[in-house]
Amino acid sequence: MINRVSALVLRYMYLYRRSLARLGEVFFWPVMELLVWGFLTMYLESEDVGMTVSYLLGAIILWDVLYRAQMAISLSFTEEIWVRNLLNLFVAPLRTFEIPLATASVGVIRALVSLTLLSVLAAVLYAFDITAVGFALVPFVASLLLFGWAVGLVTMALVLRFGQAAEALVWGVPFLIQPFSAVFYPVSILPVWLQPLAWSLPSTYVFEGMRAALASGVLDGSLLAMAFVLNVVYLILGTLFLGLTLKTVREKGYLSRIGME
């Protein structure tokens, strides 16, 4: 299994060698987001808003971890449709679970590269040290990776079921989640009737925990534990959804149709 997964990881990583578009997706957009939001937070800092500056910069960097993890699974699979390699992938001697496992591994690499790059730039340009969160940074990143994978499994299933018609969801789903994840503001800012929805997302606990850690230097274990519990639930649901969708497309012959789009 390790050899097959490693081969798929190498295949996806080789695509970045000669593709400026893929490299730009890893480096260009994260840097642009950091620059735009970073200079905005510099302005807010001049207006004496205290810890808000650190909260925003920390949120930008951590949100990118979730986004890269989700995109690695969804986009890698979508690219197989674009290059008409989907059927080849499913007739290869691979177990079904090895495909998302390989793309998730690519997501870890991409997220860590992006996290390192943004952390260095934030330190140089804005004197913000993400490690000020302390040891909590490690479980925060791990939790966001897990949730990104869960979301990626769902979007992969939707693309598998509906083909190119569902490709917009690859980019859209993360930004549907973002407003309710308390990324740039606390949950208390949301209307009362939306707050239960926010607390149903593991990402919310991470960003609330990040703000608490920056403010007090103490990790709230209850927030972190709840995030991981929800991650397990969402990963199970995402895996089941992908499995059922794959079974459906095989039984109804959608797989060959999508592979020829």
The pLDDT value given to residue 237: 92
109 sits in the region (left: phi over 0; alpha: psi -120 to 50; else beta) called alpha
Q: Please state the domain extents for the chain.
A: 2-259
pLDDT tens series, the chain, 261 aa: 777 777 777 776 776 666 555 665 666 667 766 765 665 566 566 555 666 777 778 888 888 888 888 887 777 767 766 666 666 666 666 676 677 777 777 777 877 887 788 888 888 887 777 777 777 778 888 888 889 888 888 888 887 777 666 666 777 778 778 888 888 878 887 788 888 998 999 999 998 888 888 777 777 788 888 999 999 999 999 888 888 888 887 776 656 555 455
- Of 193, 199, 219, 28, nearest to 140 by C-alpha is 219
